[in-house]
Chain A
Amino acid sequence: MFRSLHPDNCTSCTVCTVHCPVAAATGRFRGPKMTGPAYERFRLSGLHDDASVEYCSNCKNCDISCPSGVPVSTFNMLARGAYHKGKKTPLRDLLIGFSGDIGRLVRHIPAFLLNFGMKNPVSRLALDNIGLDKRAALPSFAPLAERRQLAALRRLPVGRRKREVAALFPGCFISCYEPRAGLDIIAVLEKAGYDIIVPEAFVCCGLPLLCAGLMDAARKRAKQNCEEAARLAAQGIPIISPCPSCSLMISEEYQALFSEEDIGVGPGRVHEAATFVLSLAEQGRLDLSPARPMAEPLAYHAPCHLRALGMGRPGFELLRQISGVRIEDVNAGCCGLAGSYGMKKDRYEIGAQTGSTLFAALRENGAELCASECGSCRTQIASGVGVATSHPLSLLKRCLF
């Protein structure tokens, strides 16, 4: 199939350059226009050695700001894949890229062991040595029981198929570190009349692999997820993900990155959970009157990938419709972690610098609890500002039950 992704929509206008948080933080990055569409013209003539593409954090603010509809970050990720082809991947990037698989491998190991193993000073030093900055916040594995509880929802108990069924694509972050949030979301969806399954066949969406330049491994994940998605689609089961990045990767990026031979007709839409719940509320299927008041003021941070989905700020909209909830959208740009970008030793400063605007805005806001749909944003905010964080739907559950 002819790759119809070409750089012709770009006018070189530099709107993406002035909106790029990485370019704002470091001069080492050539900027999205240069590494993306401008260099694409050279890549088509056989030049592939631009190391600057390594600096792109894939946050997608270029795509969001582009007045010409150029998929700038997709160019960057494809270029990174090509740049890495045939090169040896560093251990750190393998660890990050395959973190989903690793999480699956250790699914029967208790959290305290994992967290001690990962976070004790010796390990952090060792990780630091391979390029995972020792200052970076790492998420903690959730208690074994919770992880098991979420994973156990592989299929519905026999005889319970009386209501509409939806499938949850929890994403690696929720599966490993915050299964509680996954269970909260399931509770909200059940309240709206759904029975939820968490299909075992779903694997990591492949985004961390893509960002590590491991294109082949990402393609393999995409293929498997698409097969499962097709199976669910045949039964009319919608797929919902609490993670905006997984939703974006599966719903939109797969088709841009991989050919039809790889992924068939594509996975269709994976609904971002807050968007899905908001539309249920719109349809009157979910009553938003609170069962108990939410006394504390909330801050809200919109993850970049959520904004890229073009669905507005559904988590924010939901919460601010609940009477008594006081919530402010701090609207201060990228958190800087961008998945695992800001954990890397040579990127830590960039991530911290990028996040500083958001941190300052959150401190000024003063709320003790910050809602955000993205797990990696939550990790960064918790460590950078020291406030508690939560998925908006977890907070919704707290209000409604």
Chain B
Amino acid sequence: MRATNEATVVIIGGGATGTGIARDLAMRGVSCLLLEQGDLCAGASSRFHGLLHSGARYAVDDPEAARECARENAILRRIAPECIEETEGFFVRHARDDPAWETRWASACLECGITAGEIDPREARKLEPGLTTDVRAVYHVPDSAVDGFRMVCHNAMSAARKGAKIRTYMRLTDIEISNGRVSGVWARHRGSDEKSFISCNYIINAAGAWAGEVARLAGLSVSVSPDRGLLLAFNHRFTGRVINRLRKPSDGDIFVPHGTVVIYGTTSVPVQRPDDISIDVDEILRLLQEGETIFPQLRDFRLLRAFTGTRPLYTPDASAGRSATRNFVILDHEESELQGMATVTGGKFTSYRLMAEKAADLVCSKLGVTAPCRTADEPLLPVPSEELLQRARNVFPVEGLGLAAARLGDNLEVAVANAERSPWKKLLLCECEMVTLVEFEAAASQYSGLSLSDIRRRTRIGMGTCQGNFCAMRAGAALAEIENFATVPPRQMLEDFLEERWHGIRPLLWGRQLREVELERGIYAALLNLKGPLPQALPTGGYKTGGSSESSAVARNAAVFVGMEYDAVVVGAGLAGFTAALSAANRGKKVLLLASGAGVIAIGCGSIDLLGTLEGKAVSGDPFAQFDKLEPKHPYALIGAQEVAAAVDFIARRVAETGLPLCRADVGNVWLPTAAGTLKPVFMTSPGMSPFGLYKADAVAVVGVKGLKDFSPHLVAHGLSELQLLAGKTFTPLVLDAPRHFEQRGRDVTAPDIARFMEKPEGLAWFCKELSKVLSPVAAKARALLLPPVLGMHSVALIHKKLEERLGLAVVEAVCPPPAVTGLRLQNALRTALRKAGVVMFDNVTVTGSIVKDRRCQGLVAQQGDIQRVFRAKSCIIATGGLFNKGIATRPGQAVEQLFDIPIVAPSLSEDWSNDRFFSCEPHVFASLGVATNRDLQAVDKQGEPLLGNVYFAGRVLQGYDFAVEKSGSGVAVATGYAAGNKV
């Protein structure tokens, strides 16, 4: 038990109302303490569409609420401008909506004193071009967008400034009552499990949808019905104004632009429990259908995530859903014979301040406090001084200053001072929402340390386009660098963060969002092997010699062809397409390769993985020995181990001929260290990434570069030293100063930047000099150096050798997330190999369809502007990729191969496509969706008959394997590409 606390008033609930009350009471000089079971604003105050109502929506049904909204709206704009975007709003009537309602609504607005000016629908469409042409009437109203997180956080900051205490992650466990009077509360901290007692004279229950449960602890009954509403977040701001549908309030009426995104909602579903935030895919699809009538392009826009919140509807009369009132109530429990407690519930975000005022008035009257409410007059944040703003201008990019200042509130000064001390911390930790590291640190240093989501709410990290794909690891790294901050290991925090993001992404697994998920699995599951199984012991031995850079026997452009007919057209510029083209060209075929984009080799790890995990276990030793355990439809099983082995040899030879050796270990799989502090299994890799030096060393120095945000030596050292497999080794993080000329840049340092610099003599000199500066006595004992992949872009082997000789240490490059260097090296090597083999390559050709006759492909069709081009060849190899590279197109519950419209067998319910958890050991269903083929890699129908005689499929477009779980992506690409090239 912790020391007893004391406060005159305890407030339960850290949403808008609770923090509003804390601020109000603190400003009146009443000592108060707020308890929140999770983080601030984790309930309905952040789980709504963020509309600051003008009142117009309630004008017909509830004029009282409408007037209230109108008044509060004006107040909040005044006291919290940094939380509000004055977007204005439109009420639009669709041709299908009842004109009579419009008339009623317009006169109701007039009566409530809400300005609703009618404008010509054509004018409105000029202002908001995305609106449908079926708009029949448009009114503009003073709606705005409000940032719920920010409003609550700024209220809490303001309250704290006035002396209120805010305690998060404190779950109320009991209410002490003596002689019919409240005497205190018991609460337990969710992290430490410590219990504490807070004695008080008064309790205000502002627990929102949880208010009923809190009241029960005091033996009271308050009928609050949780009512779930669904909301959708879109990737870009397709409307600049709030758009309300002008009809009787119904589902899917409101679009609110918020910074970079648009939130659309909502629905109203009575639920049993206040924490029921489950999401129903059908509900999403219905909402989209509804929204499409107002924004016809809606389905073409990318959904970022879906989320639900539970409204606390006050339902003493057993009403529910849309019929229940949206008004708030304050229940003085003195009426139920309990002194010293009140419950405030119901209501809406727009009127939170008024609710707080009324609740505080009640408490003050009980306590005999006469100070008046001043929350409507005093701004939430003091205006930052001009001097501070000037300093901030030097720190944040001009365009980002406003954003950062509004998000940071009181923390602005801390962040600015931090950036002045360490200018490299100006780096953008989250590029989608422009969050700098200093902003992250300012938010992180002052809150619970239990969850990255807390920092997300305060900064918006992970809430933009990539949904955490790129910033989650950086955030974990930043936490690893803050000493004594995290109570949870940083890697686990980042895993939990991705799982939390998954909850809102999982219901949207089709189209663009599914592409993003494939990228996410590529990075976190395949590349960084988070949560992947590890072997019992490290492999021993070393790399096989040979297969290295022997000189090429192939003359430059040996293949010269005459005539326009190709033997084979390969579609796809990924590893499968490149291997297929090389393998066909190797057999003297004339090959045309069509590339639409550069594929993902360039952002991969540049190694070849074959099979790293099988049936939830790590594959140690020779992966070929495990092939007989694979399912019969697995691509390896289809083409046979012999062909796979030949493919691996073939690609290693072709790549080595260009000067980039790809080596394999004597034992089979090896585990490479990654930037996330994990180990990742591969079969072949370049010598610079050979991990044996690391395996043999007792002490390892992990070397990063200041500002290189995708490789944090702290995170790596933290992660690796926790691994049982590496027990007994010490990992010392070291950070080098970036090269001088890297200062004064507009962009953060990337691994390719440093790799290019290392190509120059002064690059190597810089590295050695900086390293000698930071080698402490402890670090000097290191026998191996672990680095991000920066040892040059072209002359890797040479630089690696030079550095090892100069330092007398083993030097190992780690696997890094994109934008990394290792993949780029492999891509360059493969392109050189293609050129040498005489493959003709067309960049920027997007094949969109095919001409099929008599079960043969007569040509592949590309649409370019208004002309169609047809590429003809004797055979086609389709290596268009899977869900990410759009070889497979998806819609809810449907998947289809793109070029030949081959239907892909998939569960018809989108819910069945994935597992509950993102990092699940079981493969996700969607991950194995692909084209079914026979042993010749020809697509087959249900009876197993080939659909197309001269078309072969290779790479991720194939079914039957999960590259991220198995760690088999590049292996399958190489093997099937090689096999397909041998068929033509």
A115 CB–B CB distance under 8 Å? no
Does chain B have a CB within 8 A of A400?
no
Distance, CA A64 to CA B747, complexed state (A): 22
**Min CB–CB distance B217 → chain A (angstroms):** 44
Nearest-neighbor residue (CB-CB) of B710 within chain A = A14
Cα distance A17–B835 in the bound complex, in angstroms: 24
In angstroms, Cα B579 to Cα A304, docked, is 25
On chain A, which size bracket covers the interface? 35 or more
Q: Which residues of A contact B635 (CB under 8 A)?
A: none
The answer to whether the Cβ of B864 comes within 8 Å of any Cβ in the partner chain is: yes
Closest chain-B Cβ to A42's Cβ sits at a distance in Å of 6
Most chain A CB neighbours (cut-off 10 Å) among B557, B742, B749, B885: B557
The answer to whether B302 and A8 touch across the interface, beta carbons within 8 angstroms, is yes
Question: In the assembled complex, how far is the CB of residue A284 from the closest CB belonging to chain B, in whole angstroms?
Answer: 10
**Min CB gap B565→A, angstroms:** 10
B236 x A27 contact (CB < 8 A)? no
Stretch at the interface among B173-181, B242-250, B461-469, B490-498: B461-469
Task: Tell me which of B7-15, B88-96, B97-105, B592-600 binds A.
Answer: B592-600
A68: interface (CB < 8 Å) = yes
Judge whether A19 is part of the interface by a CB distance below 8 angstroms: yes
A9 and B257 alpha carbons, distance in the complex (Å): 19
Are A44 and B237 CB-contacts (below 8 A) given A8-B301, A27-B753, A31-B747?
A: yes
Contact check, B819 vs A27: say whether CB atoms are below 8 A apart: no
User: Which B206-241 residues sit within 8 Å CB-CB of chain A?
Assistant: 235-238, 240
Check A63–B431 contact: CB distance below 8 A: no
Closest residue of chain B to A65, judged by CB?
Answer: B598
Question: Does B756 count as interface, using CB distance less than 8 angstroms?
Answer: yes
Q: Check: B319 CB closer than 8 A to any chain A CB.
A: no
Residue B512 lies at the interface, judged by CB distance under 8 Å to chain A: yes
For chain A, residues 1 to 58, give those with C-beta under 8 angstroms from any C-beta of chain B.
1-4, 6-15, 17-19, 23-24, 26-31, 33-34, 37-38, 40-42, 44-45, 47-50, 52, 55
- Interchain CB contact under 8 A, A3 and B129: yes
- CB distance B399 to A42 under 8 Å? yes
Q: B867 an interface residue at 8 Å Cβ cutoff?
A: yes
Measured CA separation A310–B257 after assembly (Å) = 37
- Give CA–CA (A307, B832) in the complex, Å: 17
Confirm or deny: B865 has a beta carbon within 8 angstroms of a beta carbon on chain A.
yes
CA distance A14 to B884 in the complex (A): 14
Is A329's beta carbon under 8 Å from chain B?
Answer: yes
| Contact mask for chain B residues 258-272; partner A; CB cutoff 8 A; 1 contact, 0 none | 011100000000000
Which of B367-375, B651-659, B670-678, B839-847 contacts its partner? B839-847
For A251, list chain B residues within 8 Å (CB): 865
Q: Which of A45, A47, A269, A317 contacts B257 (CB 8 A)?
A: A45
Report the Cα distance A137→B747, complex, angstroms: 29
- Asked whether B840 lies within 8 Å of A34 as measured between CB atoms, the reply is no
Residues of A within 8 A of B831 (CB): 331
Q: Is the CB of B260 within 8 A of A308?
A: no
> Does residue A143 face the partner (Cβ distance < 8 Å to B)?
no
Indicate whether B519 reaches chain A with its CB closer than 8 angstroms: yes
Query: When A308-B844, A309-B844 are in contact, do A7 and B235 touch as well, CB less than 8 Å?
Result: yes
Measured CB to CB, the nearest residue on chain A to B469 is: A12
Chain B nearest CB from A80 CB (Å) reads 15
B237 and A64 contacting across the interface, CB-CB below 8 Å: no
Q: Roughly how many angstroms separate A240 CA and B845 CA in the complex, as a whole number?
A: 20
Q: How far is the CA of A12 from the CA of B304 in the complex (A)?
A: 13
Cα-based distance from A212 to B301 in the complex (angstroms): 31
Picked from A12, A41, A52, A328, the residue with its CB within 8 Å of the CB of B260 is A41
Q: Give every chain A residue within 8 A of B886 (Cβ-Cβ).
A: 67-68
Q: Which residue in A27, A37, A266, A311 is a CB contact (below 8 Å) of B747?
A: A27
Q: Is A200 in contact with chain B by the CB < 8 A criterion? A: no
Tell me whether B841 and A312 are in contact (CB under 8 A): yes
Instruction: Enumerate chain B residues within 8 angstroms of A12, measured Cβ to Cβ.
Output: 431-432, 465-466, 469-470
Q: With A and B bound together, what is the CA distance between A65 and B866 in angstroms?
A: 22
Q: B562 contacts which chain A residues (CB < 8 A)?
A: 321
* Chain B interface main SS type: loop
Chain B stretch 863-880: residues in CB contact (< 8 A) with chain A = 864-867
Chain A 348-375, CB within 8 Å of chain B: the 1/0 string?
0000000000000000000000000000
Residue of B nearest to A1 (CB): B129
Judge if A296 is at the interface, Cβ distance under 8 Å.
Answer: no
At the interface, yes or no: B322 with Cβ under 8 Å from chain A? no
B843 near A18: Cβ-Cβ < 8 Å? no
Residue of B nearest to A283 (CB): B564
B857 within 8 A of A: no
Residues of B within 8 A of A328 (CB): 556-557
Take A38-B465, A41-B260, A310-B842 as given contacts and tell me if A19 and B602 are in contact as well, using a CB distance cutoff of 8 Å: yes
Question: Chain A's nearest CB lies how many Å from the CB of B547?
Answer: 25
B465 touches A13 (CB 8 A): no
* Chain B proximity mask over A276-306: 1 for CB below 8 Å, otherwise 0: 0000001000000000000000000000000
Q: Contact check, B465 vs A11: say whether CB atoms are below 8 A apart.
A: yes
B600 touches A67 (CB 8 A): yes
Alpha-carbon gap, A72 to B738, bound state (A): 29
Q: Which residues of B contact A9 (CB under 8 A)?
A: 302, 512
> Using an 8 Å CB-CB cutoff, how does the interface string of B817-858 with A read, 1 for contact, 0 for none?
011000010000001100100001111111000000000000
Cβ-defined contact, A34 with B399, below 8 A: no
- B297 touches A (CB below 8 Å): yes
- Measured between beta carbons, the chain B residues less than 8 angstroms from A6 are 236, 238, 301
Interface positions, chain A 178-208, Cβ under 8 Å from B, are: none
B885's partner among A67, A308, A311 (CB-CB below 8 A) is A67
Task: Determine whether the beta carbon of B260 is less than 8 Å from that of A67.
Answer: no
**B399's contact among A40, A47, A329, by CB below 8 Å, is which?**
A47
Question: Given A6-B301, A42-B434, A67-B885, are A268 and B866 neighbors across the interface (CB < 8 Å)?
Answer: yes
B residues adjacent to A (C-beta < 8 A) = 129-130, 235-238, 240, 257, 259-261, 297, 300-302, 397-399, 402, 431-432, 434, 464-466, 469-470, 512, 515-516, 519, 556-557, 560, 562, 564, 592, 596-600, 602-603, 742, 745-747, 749-750, 752-753, 756, 818-819, 824, 831-832, 835, 840-846, 862, 864-867, 881, 884-886
Some 29 contacts from A to B, beta carbons below 8 A apart, are: A2-B130, A9-B302, A10-B465, A11-B466, A11-B884, A13-B603, A14-B819, A18-B602, A24-B752, A24-B756, A28-B746, A29-B747, A30-B746, A34-B431, A38-B431, A38-B432, A38-B465, A41-B260, A41-B464, A45-B260, A47-B399, A50-B399, A64-B844, A65-B598, A66-B598, A266-B866, A307-B843, A311-B842, A312-B843
Given A44-B260, A67-B597, A312-B842: 5 more A-B contacts, CB < 8 Å: A6-B301, A8-B236, A18-B752, A45-B259, A310-B843
